[in-house]
Amino acid sequence: MPRIVKQKVEFEGRIEEREVVLEGEDLPVWPADSRFTIVGTPVTRVDGRERVGGTTRYTADQYPAGMLHGVILRSPHAHARIARLDVSKAEALPGVRAVLSHLNAPKIRWFNGVSWLFDPELRYVGDEVAAVIAEDAAAARDALDLIEVEFEVLPHVLDAEAAIRPGAVLVHPTGNILGGAPERYERGNVEQALARAEVTVALTAQTPDQLHHSMETHGSVAEWSDDRLTLWDSTQHIFGVRRQVAVALGIPMDRIRVLSPFSGGGFGSKNAAGKYSVIAALTARQTQRPVRVIFSRIEESQAAGKRPRSIQKIRLGARRDGTLTAIDYWGLSNVGAYRAFPSPLSGPPKELYACPNVRTDTASVFTHTGPAAAFRAPGYVEATVALECAMEALADRLGLDPLEVRLRNYAEDDQVLARPYSSKFLREAYRLGARSIGWERRTATPAQVVRDGTRRGFGMGSQIWGGSGSPPAYAEIRFNVDGTAEVRIGTQDIGTGAKTALTQIAAEVLTVPVDRVRLALGDTDFPYSPLSAGSQTIASCGPAVRMAAEEARRHLIDAAASVLEAAPEDIKLYRHGAGVPRREPERRHDPDLGSAVRRGRGGYRDRVGDGAQSGGCPRRRPGHQPAAVREPDSRRGHPGAGAGVDRRPRHGSRDRKRARPGV
């Protein structure tokens, strides 16, 4: 019976409460001391040969027949308004099939409703002015040069501190601080603790913009067939792209199929649909031809997102033994022209070290620069720079070992949520790292110049980041007649090896070698899976694959027990096959056996899911029978996944036959 529970989920520094539907019996967590044969062991990547052999087909490799090429004209100004736009010459150029701009594009809201797909007010260098669709990329680029634009150049602000001063140029009418005001967190009495501290340190730190520059640039290829759209998209969330594009086009989600079987990196910058996705879809529908819109490397620098620059000020108070008594932190994140979520700069100062008195004041500030995007622990990386520099300064001021200072301030619990960590091995990591680099040889003197101005010495730093599963996630498993298994799951592998890890989980449960499992992903026609970000992919999808595999295994064993006239607990699966004892002729069974077991499904979902599918065992289809319960040849074991009777010796019984492993 499905049940609804409330669950708190941490995602990229934010705590969200969700209503989750749990279906079926939850599986117990694998104990930490479990002995596995496949999980946790080194295996060759299941898609490694394709990747290194150049046979993988990324979004950028899709060239449907009759495909058109799209390019985008971008703003050369940090802040401007389009006073006049004339695209007539571009439209007249031979080979041009469409030109899209604010003059003729549908009014599609973007950036959480504060802008449009094509906005006449341009807020950063690289903002979209118009798009040209042509027979080839060269013609499209030539047409861009024929578009006549008159810009009304407007005042701009680029610096976060300048943007929050009274009278600053407004990036948006609602103000330059995301959310309207700075965010404050406080526990204890920071001012009193600083006043009583035996030693204090203070410093200012600045971090620069960082660009993702994924090997595969952002982009989409769109193709319509009747009223259904197929969209190849280099993304970290195929179902998110489907949802966003469906809303933008005003069509049901079931009319969109998003494909991303391979993605050339994302690092957080591909968490959502891009304007390019919608532009490709709109113009493909308009021209009735497939359309490709893929960023150039320059566009990847301008419009693909960034880790935003920051300025931070921090003060630490401590006792002479290095124990922290106060942390006072202030930080600004320059999130550019657009950002939906604030940068969680306050995370490390309030979480990483045990401290009773902590205050953080942070703000995410809009400026006329490129939009920010998630980038590998967003906010936490920037803030840790300031915090760790301050910890190093504290250790230096006190003449203490920097590692010892960190160990003395080790946080055993989450001080914000007031609960223990589900797992934390930072202390073990400290010790392992120190032993590995010979930390005991470190001296308190500065690193010495060894050659050509190079200095050699010892250093260390800490980082904190959360990772947890985020429902819903579903998987589907099917056995084939040759004993192989097929797994389908709608997640995406962004280069992290998720496909291999999920294959290992399935193989472990099904008791088959890795090469007997074929896992397919990156398709919204497969069962739903969440965003691949926030270090949550395996934590979310792994349990779904395991649940599906356990269900398939259970049905397989039940069917084998029926066929072999044995109790389910006597059935044993072998990794490389199985045999059964010789049977008397009258006990032979009909060879058409596997129809009762074809696939297993597993997963759990939110109360409101994006196309999520409920669990359960689907109806069987004729013609599918798993080799695992076929009548094996009595002279040799059946290869592949197998089932056999494990007839254990019983007291007072002469029957001591055992299932014979296959070859």
Measured CA to CA, the distance from residue 1 to residue 20 in angstroms comes to: 14
Q: Among 99-108, 341-350, 476-485, which stretch is predicted with the lowest mean pLDDT?
A: 476-485
Contact 151, 81 (CB under 8 A): yes
Task: Please name the amino acid found at residue 397.
Answer: R
Residue type (1 letter), 38: I
640 falls in which pLDDT band (50, 70, 90)?
A: very low
Tell me: the pLDDT tens digits for 363-400?
Answer: 999 999 999 999 999 999 999 999 999 999 999 999 99
Q: How far separated are the first and last CA of the chain, in Å rounded? A: 42
Tokens of 299: 């566009």
Give SS3 for 124.
coil
Residues 498 and 537 sit within 8 Å (Cβ to Cβ) = yes
Nearest Cα residue to 261 out of 509, 41, 494, 597 = 494
Q: Residue 186: what pLDDT?
A: 97
pLDDT at site 601: 61
Interval 7-26: pLDDT, tens: 777 766 677 777 777 666 77
**Rounded Cα distance, 444 and 458, in Å:** 10
- Report the pLDDT averaged over residues 486-491: 98
Residue 426 phi/psi, 5-degree rounding, is -65, -40
Q: Strand 228-233 and strand 219-225: pairing?
A: antiparallel
Q: Is the dihedral of CA 247, 252, 254, 257 positive or negative?
A: negative
Residue 407 sits at φ, ψ, to 5 deg, of -65, -35
Residue 606: its pLDDT value, please? Answer: 35
Residue 280 has pLDDT above 50, yes or no: yes
Quote the pLDDT of residue 576.
55
527-563 pLDDT, tens digit per residue, is 999 999 988 899 999 999 999 999 999 998 898 888 8
Whether 506 contacts 518, CB under 8 Å: no
pLDDT at 82 over 90: yes
Domains of the chain: 64-156+213-302 (3.30.365.10), 171-209+306-422 (3.30.365.10), 467-573 (3.30.365.10)
- Using a 10 angstrom Cβ sphere, with 0-12 exposed, 13-18 middle and 19 or more buried, the burial of residue 658 is middle
Is residue 154 a contact partner of residue 78, using CB atoms and an 8 Å limit? no
8 A C-beta contact, residue 310 and residue 332 = yes
Ramachandran region of residue 366, left (φ > 0), alpha (ψ -120 to 50) or beta? beta
The half-sphere exposure of 297 on its side-chain side, counting CA atoms within 13 A, is: 1
Per the CB < 8 A criterion, the answer to whether 168 and 157 are in contact is yes
| Of 653, 659, 497, nearest in space to 564 by CA | 659
Is the per-residue pLDDT at 412 higher than 70? Answer: yes
Cβ density class 264-281: b for 16+ within 10 Å, e for less: bbbbbbbbbbbbbbbbbb
Q: Residue 593's pLDDT is what?
A: 35
In this structure, the number of other CB atoms found within 10 A of the CB of residue 9 comes to 20
**Residue that wins the pLDDT comparison between 223 and 641:** 223
pLDDT tens figures, 561-617: 888 888 888 888 876 544 344 444 443 333 333 333 444 566 544 333 333 333 333
* Residue 336's pLDDT band (cuts 50, 70, 90): very high
pLDDT of residue 649: 34
